[in-house]
Amino acid sequence: EKVHALFGAYFSSVTNTASQVAERMGIPFVNAESSSPALTERGFKWFFRTGPHDGHFSLAMFDFMRDFEKKRGVKFKSVAILNEDTQFGADSAKVQEELAKKYGYEVVAKIPFRTATTSLDAEVGRLKTANADVVLPSLYTSDAILLTRTARNLDYNPKAIIAQNAGYTDPRFVTEMGKEAEGAITRAPFAMDLAVKKPLIPVINDMFKKLSGGRDMSDVPARALTGFLTLADAINRAGSTDPGAIQKALRETNIPPDQLIMKPWTGVRFDEKGQNAGVRAILQQLQGGSYHTIYPFELATKEPIYPIPAWSQRK
């Protein structure tokens, strides 16, 4: 039963309730996908996260803004934060507001809304009025699609969009929006276009395509695979299905970067809070209907498009 619960906890959606149950039961909970910073700030001893949290991701966004200013000789003065109202969106908005103040950007609008809403007309109207230099959306797929369509319908033309992953890296968003979302930037822990610099990516992707009906690996499957293999590695090293032995093995995890498909991660090794200290975030931009890595600049496969073309200029 404990082995079943261990794997069940891994595959379940990360919620406070699920992780609290695992903590009370003394069962290792390995999470790969959830990005709320709060999950590793509770002093839990049985919770381990292999992927980045919104703090890591948001830091990469603001580092990009600062470095892009130097690279292009532009100046960003203000940001607008748009977020859906679940824990993901609320935590993301909180971190971004804190970082905006730290980096010296004015938050001219902070707009939460109910997730899976049927209209964003009012929110887009507020974004137009605020006229921020950079828009920071934290949205799931249906909301990201709705925002794009509403911006087009209301002729809202932000100069830069830097999204908090989620809906913006869902293959369905790219398929449905395509060039309509041209220029949108999103943070990510994984990018297929880095395969030329990470030989393991095409090997794993070929296996994935055979099981997915020809679809290439994307962000979420890559994170899930990394988490699952980390857990399997710990079980193998523990030589036991005893939860305490697996917990100890997880604490001693030290997977080198050449055994990961995640670039530019430096490996998997957990800090005292259970957070992988080897995570690194990248930024991608939708260009020509597909995403390309644009940051860190030394890993870029495309130069960033800035500003985003206005709707009237798109063909």
pLDDT per position as a tens digit, 172-194: 888 888 788 889 999 988 889 99
| Residue-level pLDDT at 14 | 44
Span 107-121, mean pLDDT?
94
The pLDDT, as a whole number, for residue 35 is: 80
- Tell me, what's the pLDDT at 50? 95
**Contact in structure between 146 and 114 (CB atoms under 8 Å):** no
Q: How confident is the model at residue 16 (pLDDT cuts 50, 70, 90)?
A: low
- For residue range 94-105, list pLDDT tens digits in order: 999 999 999 999
Higher model confidence: residue 167 or residue 127? 127
- pLDDT tens digits along 223-282: 999 999 999 999 999 999 999 999 999 999 999 999 999 988 999 999 999 999 999 989
Asked if the model's pLDDT at residue 10 lies above 90, the reply is: no
Residue 165 gets the label, from left (phi > 0), alpha (psi -120 to 50) or beta, of left
Instruction: Name the average pLDDT for the chain.
Output: 89
162, pLDDT greater than 90: yes
Q: Band the pLDDT of 8: cuts 50, 70, 90.
A: very low
Is the confidence at residue 72, as pLDDT, over 60? Answer: yes
For the cut 90, the answer to whether the pLDDT of residue 315 exceeds it is: no
What is the rounded average pLDDT of the residues 65-87? 95
pLDDT of residue 75: 95
* Full-model pTM: 0.83
Percent above pLDDT 70 for the chain: 94
Please report the pLDDT score of residue 12 as a whole number: 35
pLDDT above 90 (res 157): yes
Using the predicted structure, report yes or no on whether residue 40 has a pLDDT greater than 50. Answer: yes
Indicate whether 49 pLDDT > 60.
yes
pLDDT band at 36 (very low <50, low <70, confident <90, very high): confident
- Average pLDDT score over residue span 9-24: 61
The yes-or-no verdict on residue 290 having pLDDT over 80 is yes
- Tell whether the model's pLDDT for residue 9 goes beyond 70: no
